[in-house]
Each structure stands twice: as C-alpha cells, then as structure tokens.
Amino acid sequence: MSDEPIISIRDLKNAFGDQVVHEGLDLDVRQGEILGVVGGSGTGKSVLMRSIIGLQEPVAGEISILGERIDMATAEENLDLRRRWGVLFQNGALFSTLTVAENVQVPLREFYKYLDEQLLNEIATYKVVMTGLPADAAPKYPSELSGGMRKRAGLARALALDPILLFLDEPTAGLDPIGAAAFDELIAELKEALGLTVFLITHDLDTLYTICDRIAVIADKKVIATGTIEELLATDHPWIQEYFNGPRGRAAVAAQG
C-alpha cells in the first residue's frame, strides 16, 4: 500500500436545491488500500461515490483521480479514466433482460467494439468464475440467481475492464452473515491478486474490522475523521464512539477475537 493518493478530494460541496449534503469535504484514498466509508443515513456516502465517478456534478470543489482533475479533463481523458475503474452499485444493478454473461459484456462492448463474440463470451465466463460463481451461471438471467450470486455477477461486470479502482456500494447489504463473510474474503483476495484500490461504502462492522485498511467517517457534511479503527476510537466524536462502541461494535470486536 502506498501513501500516494490515487483519489484526492478537496473542499467538495454537493447540494440538491437548498439541501446541502457535503460542504468543505476533504478526502484522500491511498493506492492499494481498502477504504471503508461510513456515516449515518442521509450523510451522502453514495452521493460522494457518484461525485467521484462523474454521475453527480458537485457545486464546488476539486476531485483528482490518478493525478487528473476530472472537471478539467478532456472527453478523451475522462473516457480513459472510466476504463480504469469498476463500480458495484447496491443490489448489483444488473440488467434484468440480459444474461449474466451479457451483463459482463456491456462495458466491453462499449469500450472495445472490435472484440468478436467468441472472445467476449470467453472473457465474460472468466470474470464470472473469478468472482466465485460457477461457469454455468454465465447464461442465466439475474432472476434465476440468489441475492448473493447477483452481487457476484455485478462484481464480475465491475471487473470486466481490468480496473485498478473498484467502487463498492453496500456490497454485503441483504446477505446472511456467512454470505457476507464470504464476500468480504473474496474482495480481500481480489484486491491482493489484482492490485486493486477499493472504495467501499458499508454499514457492516464485520467488513470494517475484517478487510478495511482505513475508514473514513462522514458526519456534519464532511469527512470528520480518517484512520484505522484504533485511531478512530481515540477520537471523542459522539457518533464515532456510539458507532464503534455500541452493541454491534462490541459484537464485531468479539467476533474478531
């Protein structure tokens, strides 16, 4: 893991009309880390992710990815940046009328129009298997898969372009504890094997304790603290103390022991 930020955010402001979601938000994401992003409901965790990947235009502030200011990049530069990240939205966000393989092929068809059908099918099957699904899941439709399998299929699509940045929005939400733990293990393995940097929004304390290198806490419209769990516990912010020292936090600590 490097101290050099792969994502740098300065003085970010997001608003919807008169409702200000973020103001003066600063954050660095270091290359090679899994950064967990936490905060109460309505603090704008998903809005922050959408701002980084260009789906939400901030009111003010600067976002740099791989040294490129995304608001100053040319269309070609932005296209090149988009090739370098993958996104797993909540619940997988798969196209219901496409098979798993066809879902994985969507970004490949967008960026690499010269690939023939056989190669597209081979790449899609490889990505499906990479995420722990059986190869025979590739021709199935999302409706034929369990919730956990749909998450993995969504992850396979996020990895289609061999990204170096991976954005995950509540990846273990709705999974049972065993399925969530298996998904956490998969993310950690892929991060090591592929050299990924992971931006992970989660409420899952087990995920935070198990695989996150650092955690960024959003409250009061900004990132109020960033660090390891031990470093966060040393702060006196009431939300942080309640979150990590509450009953579920104590249970997560006990599970680690």
pLDDT for residue 224 = 96
pTM summary value: 0.92
Q: Render pLDDT for 25-45 as a digit per residue (tens, 0 to 9).
A: 999 999 999 999 999 988 999
**pLDDT(98) > 90:** yes
**pLDDT(63) > 90:** yes
pLDDT for residue 251 = 55
pLDDT-based confidence at 257, cuts 50/70/90? low
**pLDDT(252) > 70:** no
Can you point out the beta strands (E) in 66-171? 68-69, 85-88, 165-169
pLDDT for residue 143 = 94
- Across the chain, mean pLDDT equals 91
Q: Which residue has the higher pLDDT, 24 or 80?
A: 24
Closest CA to 153 of 84, 82, 95, 211: 95
pLDDT for residue 199 = 98
pLDDT-based confidence at 50, cuts 50/70/90? very high
Identify the three-state secondary structure at position 26: strand
**pLDDT(126) > 90:** yes
pLDDT-based confidence at 193, cuts 50/70/90? very high
DSSP code string of 191-231:
HHHHT-EEEEE---HHHHHHH-SEEEEEETTEEEEEE-HHH
Q: 234 vs 14, 67, 227, 238, 240, CA distance in Å?
A: 29, 32, 10, 11, 10
What percentage of the chain has pLDDT greater than the value 90? Answer: 76
Question: What are the structural domains, with CATH classification, of the chain?
Answer: 1-32+42-78+197-257 (3.40.50.300)
Question: Measured between alpha carbons, how far is 62 from 51 in angstroms, rounded to an integer?
Answer: 10
Mean per-residue pLDDT, 179-199: 96
Question: Measured between alpha carbons, how far is 85 from 107 in angstroms, rounded to an integer?
Answer: 11
Mean per-residue pLDDT, 116-143: 95
Question: Measured between alpha carbons, how far is 156 from 128 in angstroms, rounded to an integer?
Answer: 5
pLDDT-based confidence at 80, cuts 50/70/90? confident
Mean per-residue pLDDT, 205-212: 95
**pLDDT(249) > 80:** no
